[in-house]
Amino acid sequence: MEKKSDIGFHAYIRGIILIGFALLKLAFIITGNITYYIAPTMMPFIYFATGVFLLLGIIQIIRSTKKGQEEEELCDCGTDHNISGSPITKLLIYGIFVTPIIFGFVLPDKLLDSSVAANRGIQFGSGILNDQAKAEAEAASSTSRAEAFLNDPDGYIADLENGSDSNFETDDQISVEEYYTEEGFNQYYEELAEQILAEDHIIVTEENYLDMMTVLDLQLDRFIGKTIEIVGFVYREPEFEDNQLVVARFGMTCCVADASVFGTMIEADEASQLENDTWVRVTGVLDQTDYYEFRIPLVKLREIELVEQPDSPYVFPRFSF
């Protein structure tokens, strides 16, 4: 009787935990707060997981009933289905699963903000050219160092001891063609650039945000002088000038763990008066500037307007090709 009671109790607890996870997911879906954590492309998996957790939870609840325990006893698999371990061990194990359910219902859902941006760093534009330039520079630097050491080991070591590294200057400027040669990629962004250039006023929306940042990175010269409108939250780094700020959005591919900050540099006299995380709509003229040796888009402000946080504060890639 003690064995049957033990199996039924643990089956019941497991069922409650599984149903708890299903209800937590369901609450996120109903409130819409699931978008704070998961990209829209992942929603089918969330629906599937919610249904599976609910089904498995119901099965465990059925197993905890008297009839379920009797069927468990008739099992001739030769395995002892009783739960081993001390009560404290069992409590700790179940606590690991119960705690996130409780916190999920109790703690308020929080949007990623400038404090997260400060920790993760910000990518100006789409960041793809900067990343590639850094990778190229690191590769070229490593090759140069190896060749210098092989050609003149003593001189190489002497340079290091003197804090000198003059032998390894590299050109950080790269061309798009070196890294993006796939026909589909080039054709997609070429067509998008032509479409945008035909417009008098460039409006960056939640749907085209990452595509627009990529186009500006790849073909910035063609867009200088165009009027652009962007919505985002204000972010300022300590080293910014008084007239500089960034209008940024968090971009998410899968979930909040892979979220990155994508921003556009703005020059405005009133920049220092705007606090971080203030949502604004800015309109200005596109130009370019250098930031830590990299060319980035710059918007010279014409108009700024305080706005409410959008219903969908994050932006997501459009896998259009």
Residues in Cβ contact with 197 at an 8 Å cutoff, skipping those fewer than 6 apart: 222, 223, 226
Residue 314 or 160, more confident = 314
For residues 233 and 277, the answer to whether their CB atoms sit within 8 Å is: yes
> In 10 A of CB 1, how many CB atoms?
5
When mean pLDDT is compared over 51-55, 89-93, 190-194, 243-247, the highest value belongs to 51-55
Which one-letter DSSP state was computed for residue 278?
Answer: -
Structure confidence at residue 134 as a pLDDT band (50, 70, 90) = very low
Pairing of strands 244-251, 260-267: antiparallel
- Report which residue type is found at 163: G
In this predicted model, what pLDDT tens digit does every residue of 169-206 receive, in sequence order? Answer: 434 443 444 434 456 667 778 888 888 888 888 999 88
In this predicted model, what pLDDT tens digit does every residue of 97-122 receive, in sequence order? Answer: 999 999 999 988 888 888 888 888 78
- Predicted confidence at residue 8, as pLDDT, reads 80
Q: Mean pLDDT across the stretch 121-141?
A: 54
CA 68 – CA 252 distance, rounded (Å): 44
- Report pTM: 0.69
Residues in Cβ contact with 186 at an 8 Å cutoff, skipping those fewer than 6 apart: 180
The domain limits of the chain are 2-110, 122-127+182-306
Looking at every residue in the chain, the average pLDDT score rounds to 78
- Predicted confidence at residue 71, as pLDDT, reads 57
CA 190 – CA 186 distance, rounded (Å): 6
**Whose CA is closest to 27, among 61, 49, 50, 52?**
50
Query: Under CATH, to which class is 122-127+182-306 assigned?
Result: mainly beta
Pairing of strands 201-203, 227-235: parallel
Backbone angles phi, psi at 291, to 5 degrees: -140, 110
